[in-house]
Every structure is written in C-alpha cells, then in structure tokens.
Amino acid sequence: MNKIVPVPAGTVAAQPGAGTHLPAGHPPVKVGKIGVLIVNLGTPDGTDYWSMRRYLKEFLSDRRVIEVNRVLWWFILNVIILSIRPQAKGKDYATIWNNERNEGPLRTITRSQAEQLTARIGPLDDRLVVDWAMRYGNPSVASRIEALQQQGCDRLLLVPLYPQYAAATSATVADAAFDALKKMRWQPVLRVAAPWPDEPAYIEALANSITTELAGLDWEPELVIASFHGIPKEYFDKGDPYHCYCYKTARLVRERLGWPEGKLKVTFQSRFGKAEWLQPYTDKTIEALAQSGVKKIAVITPGFVADCLETLEEIAGENAEIFHHAGGEKFHFIPCLNDSEGGMNTLEAVVKRELRGWAEIG
C-alpha cells in the first residue's frame, strides 16, 4: 500500500474537491491555477528586412487572413510580396518604433495591459495568473500557453484583443490556441472570451476618450470619423459579422455622446490587394471630405485596443497628410484606449465577465 505524503506548498490543487496529497514518490504537480492570456495581433522583432520578412510571412500565410487559392498565393507571397514589402514596412515601423525598449509599441502596450490587469484582478483570487502573447511574432500563443500550464494553470481564459469579432482576427487567435493544445499531453480547459462591441465599460471609455481629447483642442471638428480595420467584402458576403459589430459600436458611442447622425462617421482602413473591401474607405473618405470643403476633423480607431502601425503611422501620419493635401486644415488623431484607466476598465470588465463560474471576482 502506497504511503501518502504531503505535496510541497504551491504544487497541490486549489479547486474545490481536488486532492491535497499524492502517493509517495509521485513527482510534484502544479495544478489549480487559472490562466488569463490576452492576445493581440503581433509585431515584428525588428525593423530590418529579415525580421519584417518573418513576421509578414507568418501573418500573410494565415488562411483566415488570405482566403485565396493556396498555390497561387504561395507564389504571390514568396516571389513578389516578401521580396519587396519587408523593406517598405520596415521603414514604416521605424517611424513608430519604441527605441528605448527596441520593440514595436503594440508589444510595449500589451505588456503593460497584462501587468495592470494582474494588479487589478490578481489580489481578488490568488489562483489567477495573467499573461500576454502575440498571434504573429513573439511571444507566441503556444509558448505562453505552455508557460501557463507549467505554472499550474489547468483552466485557461483566452482573450483575443479585438472588440469586434472577425474570422481573420478573433478566430485565428483561437486557431493558434487549439494548434498548441493539440500538441500537449496535459492541456488546460479552454475558454475563449466573447467579443465586446457593446460592453458598457468599453462604450463609456470610448465616449470619455473622445470628450477628453476634443476638450483639449482650441478648435471643434466638423465631424469625427470612427475608422475600423477593413476586411475583404467577400468575407462579409460569406457571413462574417464584423461589419455589423463595427456599426453597433459606433452607434452606441454616438448615442452615449448625444450626437446626431452624421456627427460620427464609420469608415474602414488598411485594405490590401486589388479586391473590394468594406466601404467607405477611410483614406478616400478623408480626401473627399477635404475636397468638399470640410476643414476640421478628428479620427478615432475603436477597433484597436492598442496603438500600432495602423493607427500611428497610417491614420495619424498618412491620412493626416492626405487630409491636408486635399485642402483640410485641422486633423486630430484620438489615441487608442491603450493602458489608460478607461482601457483597463474595459479589459477588467471583459475578463471578470468571462471568468464567471471559475472565479467569482465581481
């Protein structure tokens, strides 16, 4: 008969009903923790050609991101795009690079979000372990899931950092998690957080951000553009709900601000290739507004929870230039929620909502 001996502190199960002893000679087992993994899109490791090439190849090889004939796309990607695009995108990233940490701002901000989330919810339940990852690039989803499991997390909440669900964003985060789990002998139970296009804390944070930013200007915009990342129209035609989620968020923010229709205009940015994407396009709209006599606008990007290339370089840089060249006079970019109080209130609300039944933390 095996002798039962205590397991060292910190290695026994913490959930109700779990055993607190193991047979003699049994190796220590860490269990009973609950992991929370927040995941953003990704960032290259550097702005040089090879760092950019690795990042772009991983991103553009994702079948949810590019839904075209695989043989044709392999040729286009490897022979054409990856021969040219890394240099151009590297220059773009260099304009926003966090030189102090030698990393992209998305990595800096996502790390801070994880640290602040730990400070907010960690004291509420000592089983909670918060971590962060990038869908493309480093740290990878697989590496952080493994790290959480090794810390004793037998339950895992995966939080794709996209308020509005799309197959090319939220779903591909889940793909990466499932791919990692397929290779694990002992895998944690997985939950995937639902999107939050109408989360009250999120709508409140966006409205407050707009109000605060506009109050700091010595001029008033004639309208505010809510620019969301675009997707090919074909994806929408196949049933992707992203378009509807974007419009719902914008409507709720406009109603919270008490603005009339037309004061907050939805557009879509960052199109790629020759196919039609969701319209109206942000750059074309901004140009047309300036040409029609609109002199003052502000732009917010509600679909991004952290500033990145698409917000700092594309909107605050490129689109501001388009507006001014077309006759506009005043352009103001409203930063993402990032790790601000409103941004963290949003993430905290989402995580607490999704942890119900696992950890009752409010």
Binding site, annotated residues for Fe(2+): 229, 310
Q: Please give the Cα distance from 345 to 201 (Å, whole number).
A: 6
Q: Please give the Cα distance from 108 to 222 (Å, whole number).
A: 33
Q: Please give the Cα distance from 117 to 159 (Å, whole number).
A: 12
Name the DSSP letter for residue 33: E
The pairing of strands 153-160 and 33-43 is parallel
Strand partners, 249: none
* Annotated binding-site members: 229, 310
- Give the tokens for residue 309: 């290339």
- Give the tokens for residue 341: 């109080």
Q: Please give the Cα distance from 208 to 360 (Å, whole number).
A: 28
Instruction: Give the strands of the sheet with 296-300, arranged side by side.
Output: 264-269, 223-229, 296-300, 330-334
Tell me how crowded residue 196 is: count the other CB atoms within 10 A of its CB.
24
